[in-house]
């Protein structure tokens, strides 16, 4: 078993509240909610919360204090049905002293199964050396018989959660009530995250059709009549914005993009971005995320500036390696945003479309096309270039920045790509009503085709 660094202090309510930005979007359940303080705080933050307690009086008082923002349920945990892989977080603190020792293994198994991949499980209970181990706190399922207090062995929870990501573990003296300083008991507390399950074999045809969208800066609002929005991970990196993000995600689908991830750099350093991206993918339910197929320079610029790079076998293998590594870390697949250079390098070893095709098929990623950049680089060959791509991987098309001279070619290419039936979202400029009528007509026909009108 991997050596876990134990915490030096017991859990406090504030520790759990600080974790909220890292809980994925989804239902949350507190088991043994008592007075309901934590459940109410999570509901006020924006989560859909169920709070369970066997004590009818506790549930009634919590409902009177906090109202119906929480789904208050009076039930024994052992009789409550937990749906498999449903909950973004399950909190079960200091319930196990009241569960007979012989029932604990099966119950923990149920709790683990009910958490969805990327979700959290928070458990605590008494250690065998606590004085209460000599008493009879546990109850039979019918609440009639008193049984010896349920207690954990020192490493029991670590063993039962050994295949999870352990974020916090404490053993020592702590109050059973997180908001009180005493009485103290010998306790164990653990917070663990269920591993993400990524097969790396996404079915691109199963990706959702999102319709028309816009790429916005946080916290701009979406124009009426659009179906989704796209945010930059860089804009949302501050966890203090998470409460507002959670509210927006409940209203409209959100896609994510990164600008500063330099896939073509040998010395790339994704760690600074990875934590925010991982957290936001689970927050936003983004079905994919995107980053430019480019070498990104930041040292001379305040903004991220994608730069072209030589299309060599060495670069191809490097980028494939980076994409595969990212795919193992994250909850959603990558779309490469294609921004081809208008001036190829003299030592290119293959055509741009050949390079992209190898990446998409061998690293198993999707594609997003910035139409203006594509036409600028391809010139009159924009349609022919597109025919060389694995179009079943082309999910997103960006129509921003088109020049008047590009409109005839843009209309022709858009018609071709929409007819293929693979596109899932079209990103529009802020002044979308200024798009020429032929382009708007293609958009309207596509919306009818995908059933969004």
From residue 293, how far is each of 87, 367, 370, 394 by CA, in Å? 35, 10, 11, 14
Rounded to whole angstroms, how far apart are CA atoms 104 and 247?
A: 37
Per-residue model confidence as pLDDT tens digits over 337-379 = 998 887 878 888 999 999 999 999 999 999 999 999 999 999 8
DSSP-based helix, strand, coil % in the chain, nearest 5: 35, 20, 40
Average pLDDT over residues 241-268: 89
Per-residue model confidence as pLDDT tens digits over 35-62 = 999 999 999 999 999 999 999 999 999 9
% residues pLDDT > 90 (the chain)? 74
CATH number given to 13-193:
3.40.50.150
**Best CA proximity match to 414, nearest among 370, 361, 350:** 370
From residue 331, how far is each of 42, 166, 286, 287 by CA, in Å? 23, 18, 9, 9
Average pLDDT over residues 386-405: 94
Asked if 13-193 and 204-449 have one fold, the answer is no
Taken in order 218, 224, 226, 228, the sign of the CA dihedral is: positive
| Residue whose pair of structure tokens reads 């179906």 in the numeric block | 227
Q: Answer whether CATH 3.20.20.70 is correct for domain 204-449.
A: no
**Best CA proximity match to 268, nearest among 196, 321, 338, 305:** 321
Kindly tell me if the per-residue pLDDT of 190 is higher than 60: yes
Average pLDDT over residues 191-204: 79
Q: Where are the domains of the chain?
A: 13-193, 204-449
Kindly tell me if the per-residue pLDDT of 18 is higher than 60: yes
Q: CB-based contacts of 375: which residues, under 8 Å, 6+ apart?
A: 382, 402, 406, 409, 410, 413
Residue 1 has what pLDDT?
A: 35
Q: Rounded to two decimals, what is the model's pTM? A: 0.89
State the chain's mean pLDDT as an integer. Answer: 90
Three-class SS string for 338-369?
ECCCCCCCCCCCCCHHHHHHHHHHHCCCEEEE
């Amino acid at each position: 078993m991997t050596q876990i660094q134990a915490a030096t202090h017991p859990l406090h309510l504030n520790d759990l509240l600080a974790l909220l930005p890292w809980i994925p979007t989804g239902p949350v359940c507190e088991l043994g909610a008592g007075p309901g303080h934590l459940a109410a705080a999570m509901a006020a933050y924006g989560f859909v919360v169920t709070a369970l307690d066997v004590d009818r009086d506790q549930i009634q008082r919590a409902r009177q204090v906090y109202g119906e923002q929480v789904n208050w349920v009076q039930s024994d945990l052992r009789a409550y049905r937990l749906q498999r892989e449903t909950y973004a977080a399950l909190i079960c603190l200091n319930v196990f002293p009241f569960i007979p020792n012989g029932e604990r293994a099966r119950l923990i198994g149920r709790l683990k199964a009910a958490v969805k991949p990327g979700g959290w499980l928070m458990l605590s209970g008494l250690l065998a050396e606590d004085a209460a181990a000599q008493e009879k706190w546990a109850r039979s399922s019918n609440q009639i018989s008193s049984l010896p207090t349920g207690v954990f062995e020192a490493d029991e929870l670590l063993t039962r959660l050994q295949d999870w990501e352990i974020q916090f573990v404490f053993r020592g003296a702590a109050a059973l009530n997180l908001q009180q300083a005493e009485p103290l008991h010998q306790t164990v507390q653990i917070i663990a995250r269920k591993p993400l399950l990524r097969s790396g074999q996404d079915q691109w045809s199963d990706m959702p059709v999102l319709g028309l969208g816009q790429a916005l800066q946080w916290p701009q609002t979406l124009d009426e009549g659009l179906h989704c929005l796209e945010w930059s991970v860089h804009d949302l990196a501050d966890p203090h914005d998470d409460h507002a993000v959670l509210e927006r995600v409940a209203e409209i689908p959100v896609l994510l993009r990164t600008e500063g991830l330099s896939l073509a750099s040998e010395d790339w350093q994704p760690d600074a971005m990875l934590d925010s991206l991982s957290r936001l993918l689970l927050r936003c339910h983004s079905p994919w995320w995107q980053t430019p197929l480019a070498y990104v320079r930041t040292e001379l610029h305040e903004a991220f500036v994608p730069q072209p790079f030589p299309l060599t076998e060495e670069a191809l293998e490097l980028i494939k390696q980076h994409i595969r590594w990212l795919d193992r870390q994250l909850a959603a697949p990558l779309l490469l945003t294609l921004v081809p250079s208008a001036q190829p390098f003299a030592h290119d070893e293959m055509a741009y479309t050949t390079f992209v095709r190898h990446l998409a098929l061998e690293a198993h990623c999707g594609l997003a096309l910035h139409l203006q950049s594509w036409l600028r680089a391809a010139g009159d060959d924009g349609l022919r270039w597109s025919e060389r791509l694995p179009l079943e991987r082309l999910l997103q098309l960006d129509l921003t920045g088109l020049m008047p001279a590009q409109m005839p070619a843009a209309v022709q290419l858009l018609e071709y790509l929409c007819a293929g039936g693979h596109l899932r979202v079209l990103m529009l400029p802020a002044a979308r009503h200024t798009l020429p009528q032929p382009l708007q007509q293609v958009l309207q026909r596509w919306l009818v085709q995908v059933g969004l009108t």
